[in-house]
Structure 1
């Protein structure tokens, strides 16, 4: 049913836009992304290191500290020990945080401080291209930060193939797309930086702990399990964990179309918001 819904949604989008319109949207998307890249390229090291601190703290506190106690009592559902179990979750966590936060603050800075956002809205660019260009920049931010965490994970485990395989990287990019898309929408809506903090405290921080990064969601009681499986980060965490440690026969393939549906829905909302944005 989910794959059929995704196929139907894709056909609707293709029918709505002619080939020439799709080509123009692609060109405009790359143009917006290039403008973002010109700003990002001077801060690559800073961006890569920004989201590394929290995952490192969690790795040392939970993986090495609490993990030794947990390993004596239970066997993790994936990985050889609890440290290995949480490492894919740390990749998901870091990519979520920076994709969302970096995109949100970038748009807020343009809207509230530099006052350059009005110029962007005046460009003869399709609203969907505006969203996708900003989202691609958010994906790049998230991937650069996640690369730092992946390097740490490889150093701790020595398993290069577990963290550098096509399935793992595809899920990582999808996760970045979801939260960069969410960051675009929040960045367009908020009226101050304090509002960004509210979204972060009531949305991103709870998801960091409830999104399956530190535990196996399948072991939760019924009602809490329903809540946890409503969070997109949950599907990233369990998908990355399976891609890193489990055989393909045990991979939760449903996680890919679910994340893709989240990303497409947020792209539609973002394009709608851009088309109605007034500064």
Structure 2
């Protein structure tokens, strides 16, 4: 609240620092969602139900998969993939549907630009909020994994930062793509892209299940890179693939953020 009062007391032409502007937008989104806490609960429960139905239910029929030379139970194989998918879904909601509504219909960003906020501030603030939402989903899911005994390595403490990287990548890229959307019908492409990612990013079965030619395609998809990173951390077998995944996800998120800033300049200031 002190941050909000300080910002209100500024002169109209004064510029806000990057951290201060991001804090204001996070506070604004918190106030907007404070009475809709159930939305966060429903978003968290979806991957948990998947884990119980597929990881535990189907796991009774599957002995397990080999991962980096060791055989792990099916539930322990699926759970990290679901954690990565949870981070993607949490970030995706705010960076697509909600972002589009604020941009095209609510005209919230136009109102923000009447204040000392800039388009870059808006882009950072919205991406930070999508990261926060994805982080909450991921943290809660990680607690469920620990409670179910699906985590056996201290490397897993880095799974939450890894989930934030997944949220950064998808949040930045999806916000950038959303600035090109013209109507709600365009969001059919979001489902068209995310559903195959969810099903075919080695979330439920290993990469070796695909034909060799398809494996190359899968390995360059963003959710697969996130699944690899989280699975290696949760199982304690960390390889060079995790480094590749970190670089990939950071680059994807930052490039998306730059594009968002430029697109908002064109859409709102020209």
Q: TM-score range by the shorter chain?
A: 0.7 to 0.9
Q: Give the Cα separation in 1 of the matches to 2:225 and 2:231.
A: 10
Residue 227 of structure 1: how far off its partner (Å)? 1.3
Residue in 2 that maps onto 1:177: 168
Q: Cα RMSD over matched residues?
A: 2.7
Compared CA separation, residues 158 and 211, structure 1 to 2 (3 A):
closer
Asked if 1:261 corresponds to 2:241, the answer is no
The answer for unaligned runs of 5 or more in structure 1 is 1-21
Compared CA separation, residues 81 and 250, structure 1 to 2 (3 A):
farther
Residue 226 of structure 1: how far off its partner (Å)? 1.7
Residue 162 of structure 1: how far off its partner (Å)? 5.1
Residue in 1 that maps onto 2:218: 228
TM-score when normalising by structure 1: 0.79
Q: Give the Cα separation in 2 of the matches to 1:182 and 1:41.
A: 27
Residue 232 of structure 1: how far off its partner (Å)? 1.0
Residue 178 of structure 1: how far off its partner (Å)? 1.2
Residue in 2 that maps onto 1:149: 141
Asked if 1:50 corresponds to 2:43, the answer is yes
User: Retained in 2: the 8 A contact 1:95–1:146?
Assistant: yes
* Secondary structure of residue in 2 paired with 1:177: helix
Residue 231 of structure 1: how far off its partner (Å)? 1.0
TM-score when normalising by structure 2: 0.82
Q: Give the Cα separation in 1 of the matches to 2:136 and 2:78.
A: 19
User: Retained in 1: the 8 A contact 2:173–2:252?
Assistant: no
User: Retained in 2: the 8 A contact 1:48–1:144?
Assistant: no
Compared CA separation, residues 219 and 158, structure 1 to 2 (3 A):
closer
The answer for unaligned runs of 5 or more in structure 2 is 1-14
Q: 2:22 aligns with which of 29, 50, 61?
A: 29
Q: Give the Cα separation in 2 of the matches to 1:186 and 1:250.
A: 30
Asked if 1:189 corresponds to 2:196, the answer is no
Asked if 1:93 corresponds to 2:93, the answer is no
User: Retained in 2: the 8 A contact 1:108–1:187?
Assistant: yes
Asked if 1:134 corresponds to 2:126, the answer is yes
Residue 219 of structure 1: how far off its partner (Å)? 5.3
Question: Larger % of helix: which?
Answer: 1
